[in-house]
Amino acid sequence: MKLRFWFASGLAAVVLGLSVSSSRAQTSAAPVPAVNPLAAPRKAVLDAQSAVNALHTKIAQIHLRIQSGFESRADWAAAKKAVADAQAQYDAAQKPVMDALHANPDYQQLVTNRKAAQDKMDELKAQSQATDSEGQQAQEDALSQAAGEVVNDGYAMLKMEREARDNDSTLTAAKEQLSDAKAALEALQAEVTAAMQGDPEYQAAQTELTSAEQQLTSARAALLAAQNAQRPAAPPPQRSNSYGGAPSN
């Protein structure tokens, strides 16, 4: 009888131990996943940016649809051809002017000097930094001088190019003709802008874009606030005692 009692007691203890061990194993095997507090605000920013991008694409498509209707007109085709022809005439008139300038010894000297200064800059940048302050200062001075020569020679070249263009009457006339042709095309483009402003689909898309941009701004502000909340707080400033001694806690 006693043997049966001890056997039953031992069996119950084993069963109870297995049950507790199984419960602990199940608990440790399924930890609660940590939630990233920045995940939601980051997703909100991405979603808001995607909405803004989609509306920009939609507005571009509306603009293309409206402009295509205008470009099929004869006056648009004539204006675009006038710009292309005027550009070709300007390029043809500019070539001999630039060819003559590039053969100018003064201009060639500027080109040579600027290239030498640029090569010097590249060489100085590739050098190892000096270990002493005097050597470092010498390197900085040499680099600054070379950079100044590159800039000054470049400005001098641009000045000669501008003067060569301005002093050629044929090129000046071609430039004026190109400017007039572009102005005529821009005047027609203003009609497209006016038509877009009155297009119901464009108006609706523009309203949606304004709302989407506001949501994007709010989402970015919320993300910034969440990021700031995750930063550790700065320690309080230590106060020194009234006798000017070490800071007291």
Taking only the tens place, the pLDDT of each residue in 148-191 is 999 999 999 999 999 999 999 999 999 999 999 999 999 999 89
pLDDT at 37: 86
pLDDT at 26: 53
d(Cα 127, Cα 138) in Å, to the nearest integer?
A: 12
Q: Which of 51-55, 88-92, 214-218, 245-249 shows the lowest mean pLDDT across its residues?
A: 245-249
Q: Is the pLDDT of residue 124 over 70?
A: yes
Q: In which band, very low, low, confident or very high, does the pLDDT at 87 lie, cut at 50, 70 and 90?
A: very high
Q: How far is CA 94 from CA 36, 87, 89, 131, in A?
A: 62, 10, 9, 52
Q: In which band, very low, low, confident or very high, does the pLDDT at 15 lie, cut at 50, 70 and 90?
A: very low
Contact between residue 52 and residue 216 where contact means Cβ atoms under 8 Å apart? yes
Over residues 91-120, the mean pLDDT reads 95
Q: Which of 50-64, 118-132, 178-192, 212-226 shows the lowest mean pLDDT across its residues?
A: 118-132
Q: Is the pLDDT of residue 1 over 70?
A: no
d(Cα 82, Cα 85) in Å, to the nearest integer?
A: 5
Q: Is the pLDDT of residue 238 over 60?
A: yes
pLDDT at 2: 45
pLDDT at 204: 95
pTM of the model: 0.58
Q: In which band, very low, low, confident or very high, does the pLDDT at 198 lie, cut at 50, 70 and 90?
A: very high
pLDDT at 33: 65
More confident residue, 81 or 14: 81
> How high is the mean pLDDT of the chain?
85
The strand pairing partners of 248, in sequence order, are 239
Cβ-Cβ contacts under 8 Å for 104 (sequence gap 6 or more): 160
pLDDT at 234: 66
Cβ-Cβ contacts under 8 Å for 206 (sequence gap 6 or more): 59
More confident residue, 80 or 243: 80
Q: In which band, very low, low, confident or very high, does the pLDDT at 12 lie, cut at 50, 70 and 90?
A: very low
Q: In which band, very low, low, confident or very high, does the pLDDT at 11 lie, cut at 50, 70 and 90?
A: very low
More confident residue, 14 or 135: 135
